[in-house]
Amino acid sequence: MTGWGTVAAWVAGALAFAVVVFVLAGAERVWGLFGPADLGDIKFETLERRSSPNDALAMPEGFGAARLDMTSPVYAVPPRALRDAFGRALAGEKRLFRVAEDEVALTARYVQRTALLGFPDTIVVRFVAVGPERSSIALYSRSKFGYSDLGANKERLERWLVVLAREVPPVK
């Protein structure tokens, strides 16, 4: 084999080796070489969105100045009850891990990995009072890798709001 055939064989061999290493080591270990999966906390009130299309934001109206992908609904329960309902709603989510929780600020941070390659996304959640016995939720989901997420973060937030509404219907 000469020329392009040799190059193709080397590329195929290197790719096969990379796949074997990825499968044997596992996605968490491989992506861990690029730093922790968890991207850390944010402050919703001062959040500045990324310039790349690989994040999504849902908040109650007037909660922050950042551009929203969707407005979070209001629920007829206090923030702690909404937090408990949210926990029940997420019980069926796959590849989701809570990495931090602040009981006083009513915030939590999660990492959820993609199904195929295990790319990590960090999701920050905050439960906020919006009136007597009423609350809402702020959600910010962002990808660790890539320029675009092909809408995955927005789809996640939409899905989570739908399953939360099954636990606690929003106020009409």
pLDDT tens-digit series, residues 74-112 = 999 999 999 999 999 999 999 999 999 999 999 999 999
What kind and span of H or E run contains 7? helix 4-25
In this prediction, residue 32 carries a pLDDT of 63
Cβ-Cβ contacts under 8 Å for 16 (sequence gap 6 or more):
none
Token pair for 90:
């997420």
pLDDT of 59 strictly over 90: yes
pTM here is: 0.85
105-142 per-position pLDDT tens digit? 999 999 999 988 889 999 999 999 999 999 999 999 99
Token pair for 160:
């989570």
Residue that has been written with the tokens 């994040």 in this structure: 55
Token pair for 40:
């850390």
The chain-wide mean pLDDT, for the chain, equals: 90
